Amino acid sequence: MPAFFVTGTDTEIGKTTIAAGLLHAARSAGLSTAAAKPVASGCEPTAQGLRNGDALVLLGQCSLALAYEQVNPLAFAPAIAPHLAAREAGVELSAARLHEAVREVLALQADFTLVEGAGGWRVPLLGRENLSDLARLLALPVVLVVGVRLGCINHALLSAEAILGDGLALAGWVANVVDPATSRLEENLATLAERLPALHDLGLEGLDAPSVAALPGDQLFTLTTLSLWQQEYGASL
């Protein structure tokens, strides 16, 4: 069953919004869905334990019956980098530990599964490990969310290079406009469409790039895009 790893060019650039939109589109198409956000900081205390808002959003788009702890097995209260929060809590935040937790979700074999990272591609874990090491262990194709603002082209190209350099497929990307006042917005989007490789790899050359990859505000992926991804990776809608 197709599964993807969702990463971003930075934190707070719309990874969860995009992931939730894709899961919603899959559910609307009659597919079973599952998701994981294996580590999250900035969690709020509740009667049931620490809860992360992004993880709850993903859980709400899962058609399979998942416990919160399956979606977000490692939750930390401080709104700081996960490796620092884990260190303060005395928790071993290794790629192997996260891999084992995510494998349990993948083993459910939903028709469509997303694994959302934290922050960007090189978020530190234990020792010299990064969150990208989890993606490598999972060997999932990657969806890159680009937070469109000044400097985003450099961030996007460096992230794409790192993903490909780690031996993973860049399945698709989304230009999420986090700063509507970005100067030369259309020109920036056109440059991203020209420079980022994933759309061409998926055979999307004939489609208008902004309608596929550039999502202003809270607009989400089209079902057409999801269908093309699933066709590319051996599934059907």
In the block, tokens 């969310």 appear at: 145
- Distance of alpha carbon 184 from alpha carbon 194, whole angstroms: 15
Give the pair of three-digit tokens for residue 195.
């420079």
Q: For the chain, where are the E strands, in sequence order?
A: 3-8, 33-36, 39-40, 44-46, 49-51, 74-75, 112-116, 142-148, 170-177, 214-216
What are 177's strand-pairing partners? 148, 216
Give the pair of three-digit tokens for residue 77.
């209260």
15 in catalytic set? no
Residue 198 has a CB neighbour count (10 Å cut-off) of: 22
Q: For 81-141, where are the E strands, in sequence order?
A: 112-116
200 dihedral zone (left: phi>0; alpha: psi -120 to 50; beta): alpha
Per annotation, catalytic residue among 13, 25, 37, 117: 37
Contact 5, 115 (CB under 8 A): yes
Active site residues: 37
